[in-house]
Amino acid sequence: MTAVFDPVVRRYFRGKKVLVTGGSSGIGEALALAMIALDAEVAVVAHRPEKLGRAVTEAKARVFVCDLSDAAQTARLAEQMLAEFGTPDVLVNNAGFATYRPFEQIPADEMEALLSVNLLAALRLTRALLPGFIARRSGAIVNMASIAGRLPLTPNMAYTAAKHGMVAWSECLSYELARFGIQVNVICPGRVETAFFDHETFRTRAERPETRYTVPLERVVAGTLAAIARGRVVTYIPWTLALFAWAKSAFPFIVGPFYRRLVLGRVETLYQSQNR
């Protein structure tokens, strides 16, 4: 896999200590494996270690077990990390999940878990590890958001709200930490076919035309590593999503009605499948 990476990426990650949350599958697992192949020392955080891919364990990544939706567990994770692994050079806040429900149907505990895992977990862990970054005057904090962090997508509004918050927080953090030599990267990929979509609300929803457009996992990994190595604050994968997000903001009277019809269609399809 390293053959696709240019020398800038190879040099950047060689010998780096990297922590990846949500490292048991999908983007997190693929990033961890790529960084190990690039001679980085990698640790992953997993809520359910039994779901860790064999490739990660065989590659000898360090594994920390934590439910990042739990503030107390996250605090203990940070203490254990600092004692056993040290302050990472690169922190990748990748853990996340989504469901596919309209706001009026989402259970309160599910809504809180979505906001906690997709946003608050990254804030908590970053805040706990940040003193080490600042003392060292270097490092990278990488936040895996989504195109849903730039465009309002629903019927999964809690996930979208969390990712909007992550994008805004990342940009603010990039300004605050620049004086300490710490870079912040936020990644906004499109739809990637991973275990992310295993939740029953995705499996049972009616098919929509836009779900056919997916981004290969390898492309997300390569784009993320390049963004980190080159210090890009915001990265869209693919880059055409940046163009669409810009057009929606720059030409709201042209793009807005089209986008509104798209999202209204998604909502209507869901309710029709429920016979409501």
Q: Cα-flanking dihedrals φ and ψ of residue 139, to 5°?
A: 125, 175
> What is the reported pTM?
0.94
pLDDT score recorded for residue 2: 41
Hey, how many other C-beta atoms are within 10 angstroms of the C-beta on 150? 23
**Helical spans, DSSP H, in 22-89:** 26-37, 54-58, 71-84
| C-alpha span between 103 and 154 (Å, rounded) | 9
Q: Give, for all 276 residues of the chain, the pLDDT tens digit.
A: 444 688 999 999 999 999 999 988 899 999 999 999 999 999 999 887 676 666 676 777 899 999 999 999 999 999 999 999 999 999 999 999 999 999 999 999 999 999 999 999 999 999 999 999 999 999 999 999 999 999 999 999 999 999 999 999 999 999 999 999 999 999 999 999 888 888 999 989 988 988 889 999 999 999 999 999 999 999 999 999 999 999 999 999 999 999 999 999 999 999 999 988
pLDDT score recorded for residue 1: 43
pLDDT score recorded for residue 30: 94
* C-alpha dist (Å) from residue 216 to 21, 105, 201, 203: 20, 31, 23, 20
The domain defined by 2-243 folds into Rossmann fold (3.40.50)
User: Out of 12, 100, 159, 236, which one is annotated catalytic?
Assistant: 159
The ranges assigned to domains in the chain are 2-243
Annotation marks residue 175 as catalytic: no
Residue with tokens 């098919």: 207
- Give the Cα-Cα-Cα angle 263, 266, 271 (nearest 5 degrees): 130
For the chain, the first-to-last Cα distance in angstroms comes to 48
pLDDT score recorded for residue 129: 97
pLDDT score recorded for residue 197: 87
pLDDT score recorded for residue 221: 97
* C-alpha dist (Å) from residue 220 to 99, 170, 212, 239, 243: 21, 19, 17, 11, 17
pLDDT score recorded for residue 196: 86
On whether the CB atoms of residues 69 and 53 are closer than 8 A, the answer is: no
